[in-house]
Amino acid sequence: MLYLLRDALFPLVVFVHAVLIGAPANHGRGRFRHAAYRVHRVGRLPHALRESSGLARAGSRRGLWNHGDAGTPARLTLIELPGTIRRTLDLAPLPNTDWEDLAQDRAGRLYIGDFGNNANQRRDLAIYRIGLHDGRPVVDTIAFRYPDQRAFPPARKRRNFDCEAFFWYQDTLHLFSKDRSLQQWVKHYAVPARPGRHVATLLDSIRLNRPITSADISPDGRTVALLGYGGVFLFARQPGRRLFDAPKSFRALPTTGQAEALVFLNDSTFVVSNEQGRLYQATAK
């Protein structure tokens, strides 16, 4: 019973801790400089979409695809800022075991990360690739497992196989772990962006002071954003270097609350949504 209570309170404890300490941890991987962004509220999701857990760009400049968390219907909803519903794409009977983030490739196909794994015991981790044919969704499944997970679940101090963040880049899906052991190591994995069964590749890791709840890459491929409770980590991606060795910055987002999804609108602007359904836009100064 104590373990169940601990898991239930995990997001609240880490969120409060992150807000109180403010600045990110460095832990030998280079200092985070302060990133200058203007942040303001740009809208609110309709009540039915308040459990937003993933965002992706749609066709128009103010259009966003959105999906809900575990327990919500298996569907994608297209909204237009500040929050008007334009279309609903029903994906039933596709399971929503624990959808946690949304990505998009150059061809416009969407990727739903069904890899939420709070208890670190899932063996059915999947990413669903969604394309449209004559206006109807065509679903392909990318099943995967982590190369370094041996127990289901592992000991509590090794429970770092939850995931709520990923993005697509050059035919590869980049996943970032959410550490349930409270040590706050973020692991960076890669999975091929093609249907089939795959073993993820562990690329790198870094210790931060907060869990990561969403990720995206700017349209020009130069900036990777990792959203955490209370702020966002920005990495200047450089070819030939590991992501976490690249120049990095941090932008505190104390007014956004428990933010759960992030998407770049352009190379210098991103939008985040929080647990209350509020939408915030951050633009580089």
Element (H, E) at 228: strand 223-228
Whether the predicted pLDDT of 258 surpasses 90: no
For 169-220, the pLDDT digits (tens) are 999 999 999 999 888 899 999 999 999 999 999 999 999 988 999 999 999 9
Whether the predicted pLDDT of 160 surpasses 90: yes
Contact 229, 258 (CB under 8 A): yes
Q: Tell me which residue range forms the domain holding 155.
A: 2-284
Q: What is the mean pLDDT of the chain?
A: 89
Predicted TM-score (pTM) of the model is 0.91
The Cβ of residue 179 has, within 10 Å, a number of other Cβ atoms equal to 22
Higher-pLDDT residue of 279 and 62 is: 279
Q: Is the peptide bond before 11 cis (omega within 30 degrees of 0)?
A: no
CATH number at residue 191: 2.120.10
pLDDT of residue 268: 96
pLDDT > 90: percent of the chain:
73
Higher-pLDDT residue of 277 and 24 is: 277
Contact 203, 189 (CB under 8 A): yes
Beta bridge partners of 54: 67
pLDDT > 70: percent of the chain:
90
State the total domains in the chain: 1
pLDDT of residue 202: 98
For 53-98, the pLDDT digits (tens) are 999 999 767 899 999 888 889 999 999 999 999 999 999 999 999 9
Name the pLDDT band for 1 (thresholds 50, 70, 90). very low
Closest CA to 222 of 283, 266, 271: 266
Element (H, E) at 79: strand 75-80
